[in-house]
């Protein structure tokens, strides 16, 4: 039961439940995002109940003012919520009230004057080309069991050689493998086709030859030692071992290999729109952050190499 169940009347609670169902079935939000939105709206309703002195009703929402929302956001910031999380909270509120408007339940102007918190865009921490190659090469040396070593090398190769998120790599099935391309299901169930370069294809083939478990067409390729679906935590632990062995920074994670894939492609003249499609980004603005990464690397190299650097 959400926080809002105790802070709202039955009608408002039913609208929240309807909205959550729509987010899951129509907008197909990722489960963690859906959970966060539900938590955000629950905390908002709990705040309003205390702010207004009783359970939140439709009339309470009609009387909502911009000052009420700003007070809630201020309280969340005082609880050490960062700008990115505050932006998500505001997004959840806007989504809920937009839903109420579409359903002809309520129209409010209270959110119109609320600005999205400013966020400093942190640059992705990419490995150098040499670090990425060393990471993949050393993966096979970290495990005595040959098939497990081959498995981990295949997964890590997919993160760097195909730019996959760790969850995307672990969700691959035999049916997703073709001679030269991968069929990848990304966030929100969106499907994209990613080129399967020869080294990555060989790494997957080596794993399949050595794996003691038979894999059917519609089953995940990568298995744990007991035959179950491989946990991402095991790959994260393998990266921790590789960081220690190779002296890599703490930012060297499976996701950093995906960042490295994009940064290195861009550095070699890759088209930004094509990289967006390979990564499965919904917006080009998300991909454009890699131009900043590449520029930063260029300036570092310039400063080290130039006689006046």
Q: What 3-state DSSP class applies to 223?
A: strand
Decide if 270 is inside a domain: no
Q: How many domains does the chain have?
A: 2
Final residue of a structural domain among 213, 229, 254: 254
Decide if 302 is inside a domain: no
Q: Which residues are catalytic?
A: 165, 187, 255, 258, 281, 290
What is the rounded CA–CA span in Å between residue 300 and residue 69?
A: 44
Decide if 183 is inside a domain: yes
Q: Which residues pair with 183 in a beta bridge?
A: 193
- Is there a single domain that holds both residue 98 and residue 139? no
What is the rounded CA–CA span in Å between residue 113 and residue 69?
A: 10
Given its phi and psi angles, is residue 227 left (phi above 0), alpha (psi -120 to 50 degrees) or beta?
A: left
Decide if 72 is inside a domain: yes
What is the rounded CA–CA span in Å between residue 229 and residue 167?
A: 11
Decide if 12 is inside a domain: yes
Do 133 and 303 meet the contact criterion of CB atoms below 8 Å apart? no
- Is there a single domain that holds both residue 153 and residue 95? no
- Is there a single domain that holds both residue 135 and residue 249? yes
Q: What is the pLDDT of residues 235-270, one digit of tens each?
A: 999 999 999 999 988 888 888 888 888 888 877 777
Q: For 173, phi and psi rounded to 5 degrees?
A: -120, 170
- Is there a single domain that holds both residue 136 and residue 239? yes
Alpha helical stretches, state H, 53-165: 58-62, 66-78, 83-102, 129-139, 146-161
CATH number at residue 226: 1.10.443.10
Instruction: With cut-offs at 50, 70 and 90, classify the pLDDT of residue 303.
Output: low
What domain range includes position 189? 129-254
Q: What is the pLDDT of residues 183-220, one digit of tens each?
A: 888 887 888 888 888 999 999 999 999 999 988 888 88
What is the rounded CA–CA span in Å between residue 35 and residue 37?
A: 6
DSSP secondary-structure letter at 120?
-
- Is there a single domain that holds both residue 92 and residue 158? no
- Is there a single domain that holds both residue 85 and residue 136? no
Decide if 59 is inside a domain: yes
DSSP 18-60: HHHHHHHHTS---HHHHHHHHHHHHHHHHHHHHHHTS-B-HHH
Decide if 195 is inside a domain: yes
Q: What is the pLDDT of residues 159-180, one digit of tens each?
A: 998 889 899 999 999 999 877 8
CATH number at residue 44: 1.10.150
Model confidence at 1: pLDDT above 60: no
- Is there a single domain that holds both residue 137 and residue 47? no
Q: What is the pLDDT of residues 124-163, one digit of tens each?
A: 578 888 998 899 989 888 778 999 999 999 999 999 988 8
Final residue of a structural domain among 65, 85, 102: 102
Decide if 75 is inside a domain: yes
Model pTM above 0.75: no
Instruction: With cut-offs at 50, 70 and 90, classify the pLDDT of residue 298.
Output: very low
Q: For 229, phi and psi rounded to 5 degrees?
A: -65, 135
């Amino acid at each position: 039961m959400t926080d809002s169940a105790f802070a709202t009347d039955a009608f408002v609670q039913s609208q929240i439940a309807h909205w959550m169902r729509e987010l899951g079935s129509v907008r197909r939000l990722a489960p963690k995002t859906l959970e966060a939105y539900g938590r955000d709206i629950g905390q908002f309703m709990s705040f309003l109940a205390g702010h207004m002195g009783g359970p939140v009703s439709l009339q309470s929402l009609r009387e909502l003012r911009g000052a009420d929302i700003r007070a809630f956001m201020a309280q969340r910031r005082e609880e050490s919520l960062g700008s990115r999380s505050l932006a998500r909270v505001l997004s959840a509120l806007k989504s809920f009230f937009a839903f109420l408007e579409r359903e002809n339940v309520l129209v409010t102007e209270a959110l119109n004057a609320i600005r999205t918190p400013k966020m400093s865009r942190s640059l992705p921490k990419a490995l150098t080309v040499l670090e990425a190659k060393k990471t993949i090469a050393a993966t096979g040396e970290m495990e005595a069991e040959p098939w497990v070593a081959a498995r981990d090398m295949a997964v890590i190769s997919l993160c760097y050689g195909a730019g996959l998120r760790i969850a995307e790599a672990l969700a691959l099935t035999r049916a997703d493998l073709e001679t030269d391309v991968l069929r990848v299901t990304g966030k929100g169930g969106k499907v994209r086709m990613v080129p399967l370069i020869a080294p990555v294809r060989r790494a997957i083939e080596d794993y399949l030859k050595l794996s003691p478990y038979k894999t059917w067409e519609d089953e995940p390729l990568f298995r744990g030692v007991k035959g179950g679906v491989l946990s991402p935590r095991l790959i994260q632990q393998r990266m921790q071992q590789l960081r220690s062995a190779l002296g890599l920074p703490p930012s060297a994670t499976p996701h950093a290999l995906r960042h490295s894939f994009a940064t290195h492609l861009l550095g070699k003249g890759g088209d930004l729109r094509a990289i967006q499609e390979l990564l499965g980004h919904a917006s080009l603005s998300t991909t454009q952050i890699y131009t900043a990464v590449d520029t930063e690397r260029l300036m570092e190299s310039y400063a080290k190499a130039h006689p006046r650097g």
